[in-house]
Amino acid sequence: MGAGIYTRHLGREVRYGGNDLDAWAEKVKNMMPEFMIPEMRIMYEFFQTNGMIASKADLEKTQTLLGKKPRTFDDFVKKIAKEWKSTRRSRVRKSCCDRDDPDGSSLSGGSWGQVSIVGLSPMHLLHPPRALLCN
């Protein structure tokens, strides 16, 4: 579901990489501080076991706190994908896409045409894996 939303808005295939948190931890070792990995892993285990869907009460409380209706995941991805494409593409392409690992596979397991995501972290929302940006 989430990968399909990213695929639609990025204009390239994004596949969910599965629930293997060992593989995820290995892939993100160079992407975030080491101390964060066990904490993120606990969070992802919780999401895998319990889901991550807000209840009606959660949504109402969030709306009250925000003073407006919360944005949907689809709307969020649409906005962030547009931002990634327009503001970061040229900078990221020049800074990282032409290195020894042009497809970004060492970061996300993806390729130029297909991207595999193993547990996108909140950190990816601001700093997406280069395989999502390079084409």
pLDDT tens digits for range 96-119: 444 444 444 434 433 333 444 444
What is the residue range of 49's domain?
Answer: 2-133
- Return the percent helix, strand and coil in the chain, to nearest 5: 60, 5, 35
- Position 128 scores a pLDDT of 53
Cβ(120)–Cβ(114) below 8 Å: no
* 16 has pLDDT over 50: yes
Q: Pick the closest to residue 15 from 86, 121, 120, 124 (CA basis).
A: 120
Which of 18-22, 30-34, 53-57, 97-101 shows the lowest mean pLDDT across its residues?
A: 97-101
pLDDT tens by residue, 32-53? 999 999 999 999 999 999 988 8
Percent of the chain with pLDDT over 90: 52
* 88 has pLDDT over 70: no
| H-helix or E-strand spanning residue 32 | none
At 46, the amino acid letter reads F
Domain tally for the chain? Answer: 1
